[in-house]
């Protein structure tokens, strides 16, 4: 596998134009996310450059655009707030160290090929925490939108101080925020093809603030340092070590989910297939470098990726081009962003929060599944007011328990005990005749489908309800997989039957199932010559055991049968 992404120059014009367009879209978002995170606008720019460049170079999705995103910014905001509160002197440096840790976790996820498992969670959980992140981003923009500084305490602090904020609205800044939203929401589609609405809103909002509101005191970005970033060496404190590692793992996991979901969208647009594990390594390298340079964490960005592809990009040259264009802005043109009003950036970030909300599922979840709706809103609430890890953990746990319960219920219907030729199990004519010859003294314990741990109850229940018999046939012909818990339940059934003096025969155990039974020592109760490949052979042996006087003349096909399992 190549270390670098797919880079060639056969589509140079499309890739260059795609990269340029994506850079224009990224600039206002990078500034907005940098300000929203508390790390400053330059952190957003460095994040867009570092993550964008190295994820494009080493990733596994050629057209993916990686940069600071709404979900990553929300988590980074909480990290910056908690770290600076606990350690005012080194808090910001510690926050950037968490970004490096997130990158290292992502590299490990990719190396150990965990990419295919990252997004293996119920959609109700993904929808809930993504919508929760959108709500957080919207709430955090309220204060700068109305011209005030963010109160301490994150989301809860903002909610508690909301009445006070609304009584101190700055009319000029609020007007700029509303103007920004109006441009982004209502800009005609024809014009959007020529310029992204976020950039148009940024330019118009800044011009209005300098002309119409020129004599008004308005909070602006201010001076951004021009030039190469100062390296942020890792900073740890013993008391915060555990918290930093947990935050790094959470940030890394969120970045993986955010990226791989966007990579799937890129696949659908380009009719290609991304390499998830390689993409995680590329994202990890990008975030590691971003943290070292004092940049925000990033992930695959849906808006930038779609714009990139729609304007002709097909290879990683587009992502590299975009990153280099933004680097030029950081090195030589950052001063032109100085007069941008904070309220304009708040409006841009607020619109991102609105877009993150999963409106499609929110509107129809109650029609699709009541349980899924409850899980989604529960995860949303926990994400906003408790913690992202708790939200995802609780959501996945409950969703999996409900799924396992349903699967176990369905699978339990395939656990049957038959003593005569009824319709519970599809038997051919010969098998029905043999079972009838047993005169009710043969029990066929039939199992079907994967025997997960939830089925063990059904096995135990049927085992307890077994009627008296002389021979028990444990039919595993239709069992492709046998779990540990189900194996124990089967072992108990076989053990009890053996201790009660019944002959036990096993039929249809495939190589994997037989290997699992051997590990449990089933041979203690079932000799090798009582293990059969075919159900007919097992029934012949069972009839011979319960009716030793049966002969081939009186009962064709029936006799003492001791073929061993092969």
What pLDDT digit, counting tens, does each position of 246-261 carry? 999 999 999 999 999 8
Which residues face 446 on adjacent strands? 416, 475
Q: Where are the alpha helices (DSSP H) in 187-240?
A: 189-192, 197-211
Residue 446: inside a domain, yes or no? yes
Q: Comparing 368 with 44, which gets the higher pLDDT?
A: 44
Q: What would the two tokens of residue 308 be?
A: 């990139």
Mean pLDDT of the chain: 87
377 in the same domain as 431:
no
> What average pLDDT score do residues 549-553 get?
49
Share of the chain above pLDDT 90, in %: 48
With a cut of 80, say whether residue 519 has pLDDT above it.
Answer: yes
Residue 369: inside a domain, yes or no? yes
420 in the same domain as 371:
no
Residue 244 and residue 246: Cα distance in Å, rounded?
5
> What average pLDDT score do residues 499-511 get?
88
Tell me the residue range of the domain where 470 lies.
Answer: 413-546
Residue 1: inside a domain, yes or no? no
DSSP 11: T
pLDDT at 5: 65
> What average pLDDT score do residues 279-308 get?
95
> What average pLDDT score do residues 31-39 get?
93
270 in the same domain as 160:
yes
Residue 413 and residue 454: Cα distance in Å, rounded?
12
Residue 501 and residue 496: Cα distance in Å, rounded?
9
Residue 258 and residue 55: Cα distance in Å, rounded?
14
Residue 561: inside a domain, yes or no? no
User: Cα–chain-centroid distance for residue 447?
Assistant: 34
Least Cα distance to 130 among 121, 33, 283 occurs for: 121
Least Cα distance to 506 among 478, 486, 535, 483 occurs for: 535
237 in the same domain as 102:
yes
Residue 98 and residue 294: Cα distance in Å, rounded?
11
304 in the same domain as 419:
no
> What average pLDDT score do residues 497-506 get?
89
Residue 14: inside a domain, yes or no? no
Least confident of 97-106, 137-146, 346-355, 465-474: 465-474
497 in the same domain as 367:
no
pLDDT at 379: 93
> What average pLDDT score do residues 539-547 get?
87
Residue 161 and residue 155: Cα distance in Å, rounded?
10
> Exposure of 483 by Cβ count < 10 A (0-12 exposed, 13-18 middle, 19+ buried)?
middle
DSSP 454: G
> What average pLDDT score do residues 283-309 get?
95
Q: Comparing 362 with 53, which gets the higher pLDDT?
A: 53
Residue 524 and residue 545: Cα distance in Å, rounded?
19
38 in the same domain as 79:
yes
- Confidence band for 151, pLDDT divided at 50, 70 and 90: confident
Residue 53 and residue 538: Cα distance in Å, rounded?
65
Residue 554: inside a domain, yes or no? no
Strand order in the sheet with 471-478: 416-418, 442-448, 471-478, 503-507, 531-532
- Confidence band for 295, pLDDT divided at 50, 70 and 90: very high
SS3 341: strand
pLDDT at 6: 64
What is the pTM assigned to this prediction?
0.81
369 in the same domain as 280:
yes
490 in the same domain as 389:
no
**pLDDT tens-digit profile of 401-439?**
888 888 777 767 667 766 655 555 567 788 888 888 878
With a cut of 90, say whether residue 141 has pLDDT above it.
Answer: yes
168 in the same domain as 79:
yes
Residue 473: inside a domain, yes or no? yes
pLDDT at 563: 43
CATH number at residue 477: 3.30.750.24
Residues 6 or more apart from 85 whose CB is under 8 A from it?
Answer: 91, 152
420 in the same domain as 367:
no
Residue 201: inside a domain, yes or no? yes
User: Cα–chain-centroid distance for residue 194?
Assistant: 34
Altogether, the residues listed in the chain come to a count of 566
Share of the chain above pLDDT 70, in %: 92
Separation of first and last alpha carbons in the chain:
42
Give the count of domains, the chain.
2
207 in the same domain as 161:
yes
């Amino acid at each position: 596998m190549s270390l670098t992404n797919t880079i060639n120059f056969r589509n140079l014009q499309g890739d260059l134009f795609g990269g340029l367009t994506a850079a224009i879209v990224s600039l206002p978002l990078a500034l907005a996310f940098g300000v929203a995170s508390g790390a400053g606008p330059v952190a957003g720019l460095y994040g867009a450059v570092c993550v964008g460049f190295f994820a494009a170079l080493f990733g596994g999705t050629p057209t993916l655009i990686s940069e600071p995103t709404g979900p990553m910014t929300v988590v980074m905001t909480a990290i910056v707030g908690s770290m600076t509160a606990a350690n005012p002197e080194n808090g910001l440096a510690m926050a950037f160290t968490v970004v490096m840790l997130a990158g290292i976790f992502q590299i490990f996820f990719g190396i150990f090929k965990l990419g295919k498992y990252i997004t293996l969670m119920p959609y109700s959980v993904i929808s809930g925490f993504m919508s929760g992140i959108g709500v957080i981003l919207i709430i955090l923009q309220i204060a700068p939108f109305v011209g005030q500084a963010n109160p301490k305490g994150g989301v809860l602090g903002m909610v508690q101080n909301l009445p006070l904020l609304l009584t101190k609205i700055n009319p000029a800044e609020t007007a700029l925020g509303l103007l920004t939203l109006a441009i982004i929401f209502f800009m005609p589609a024809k014009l959007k093809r020529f310029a992204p609405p976020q950039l148009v809103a940024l330019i118009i909002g800044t011009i209005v603030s300098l002309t119409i509101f020129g004599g008004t005191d308005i909070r602006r970005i201010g001076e951004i340092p021009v030039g190469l970033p100062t390296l942020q060496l890792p900073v740890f404190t013993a008391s915060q070590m555990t918290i930093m590692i947990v935050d790094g793992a959470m940030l890394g996991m969120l970045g993986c989910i955010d990226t791989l979901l966007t990579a799937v969208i890129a696949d659908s647009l380009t009719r290609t297939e991304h390499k998830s594990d390689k993409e995680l390594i590329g994202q990890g390298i990008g975030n590691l470098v971003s943290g070292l340079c004092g940049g925000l964490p990033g992930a695959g960005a849906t808006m930038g990726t779609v714009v990139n592809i729609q304007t002709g990009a097909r290879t990683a040259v587009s992502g590299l081009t975009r990153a280099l264009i933004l680097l030029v802005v950081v090195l030589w043109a950052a001063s032109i962003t100085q007069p941008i009003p904070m309220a304009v950036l708040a409006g841009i970030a607020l619109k991102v929060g609105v877009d993150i909300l999963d409106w499609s599922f929110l509107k129809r979840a109650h029609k699709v599944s009541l349980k899924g709706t409850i899980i989604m809103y529960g995860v949303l609430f926990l994400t906003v007011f408790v913690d992202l890890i708790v939200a995802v953990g609780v959501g996945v746990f409950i969703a999996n328990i409900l799924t396992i319960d349903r699967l176990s219920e369905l699978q339990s219907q395939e656990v049957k005990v038959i003593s005569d030729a009824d319709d519970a199990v599809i038997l051919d004519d010969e098998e029905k005749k043999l079972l009838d010859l047993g005169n009710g003294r043969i029990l066929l314990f039939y199992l079907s489908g994967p025997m997960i741990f939830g089925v063990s109850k059904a096995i135990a229940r049927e085992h307890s309800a077994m009627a008296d018999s002389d021979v028990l046939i444990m039919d595993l012909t239709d069992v492709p997989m046998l779990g540990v818990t189900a194996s124990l339940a089967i072992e108990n059934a076989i053990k009890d039957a053996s201790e009660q003096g019944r002959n036990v025969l096993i039929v249809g155990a495939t190589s994997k199932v037989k290997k699992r039974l051997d590990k449990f020592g089933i041979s203690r109760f079932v000799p090798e010559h009582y293990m059969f490949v075919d159900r007919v052979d097992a029934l012949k042996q069972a009839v011979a055991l319960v009716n030793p006087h049966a002969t081939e003349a009186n009962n064709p096909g029936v006799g003492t049968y001791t073929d061993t399992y092969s």
